[in-house]
């Protein structure tokens, strides 16, 4: 029986030859793969809506959807400003190099987070709202997130003293948010969260940056059907050993 799948690619990956070769190989095995490449704002949400069936959760911020992680703060600026050529050459290490180069620009952001059983306020270096676990470069920001639990994992790295900021950035880029500064990060798991930032905050939605003083993130449960490896840790059933 022929299996049909849809792949939604960020426009930057449209010319990725390795990905093209992988799609061709899977098609040769008898799979029907429909590829969509985003071109302008809103395309990813449109393509996802076209393909939607009951299955795995989808995050949403306003009228924009995301599958993986929405990030804010210093990490977002690093992701947005990392040179694509450097990423192709060095992979995830490119983000670390860019982060060190932009360290002098590090400014904590004042935010307030509100959600079910969540009301937290303070200055942060990094914000992550995850339906899955990793952001650009493979950095683990939401280490326990799964795709089908109906919840978003929210994490922040609060501001630290000036003499520890370089350590915070280094550990964030090399170890992930959950291990930065020996578990200084805070985490919550909620179906929705509102982020208020009086001076505004940049948010990166799976590679698409946006800026506002107010962001609302919510989950559309069981929105998409995905093909995933049986051994994936990103499903709640896999954590139960099935």
Beta carbons of 47 and 8 less than 8 angstroms apart = yes
Q: Are 69 and 133 in contact (CB under 8 A)?
A: yes
Out of 50, 121, 144, 208, the active site residue is 208
Question: Is 208 known to be catalytic?
Answer: yes
Which residues are identified as catalytic?
208
């Amino acid at each position: 029986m022929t299996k049909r799948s849809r792949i939604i690619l960020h426009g930057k990956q449209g010319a990725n030859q390795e990905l093209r070769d992988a799609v061709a190989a899977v098609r040769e095995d008898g799979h029907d793969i429909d590829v969509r490449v985003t071109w302008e704002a809103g395309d990813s949400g449109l393509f996802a809506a076209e393909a939607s069936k009951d299955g795995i959760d989808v995050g949403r911020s306003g009228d924009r959807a995301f599958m993986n992680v929405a990030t804010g703060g210093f990490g977002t600026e690093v992701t947005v400003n990392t040179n694509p050529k450097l990423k192709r050459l060095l992979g995830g290490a490119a983000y670390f190099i860019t982060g060190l180069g932009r360290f002098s620009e590090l400014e904590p952001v004042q935010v307030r987070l509100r959600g079910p059983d969540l009301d937290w306020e303070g200055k942060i270096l990094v914000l992550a709202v995850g339906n899955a676990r990793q952001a650009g470069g493979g950095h683990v920001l939401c280490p326990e997130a799964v795709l089908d639990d109906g919840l978003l994992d929210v994490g922040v790295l609060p501001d630290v003293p000036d003499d520890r900021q370089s350590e915070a950035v280094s550990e964030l880029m090399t170890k992930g948010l959950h291990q930065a500064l020996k578990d200084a990060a805070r985490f919550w798991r909620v179906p929705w969260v509102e982020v208020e930032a009086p001076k505004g905050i940049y948010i990166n939605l799976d590679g698409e940056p946006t800026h506002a003083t107010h962001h609302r993130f919510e989950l559309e449960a069981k929105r998409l059907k995905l093909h995933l490896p049986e051994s994936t840790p990103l499903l709640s059933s896999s954590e139960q050993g099935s």
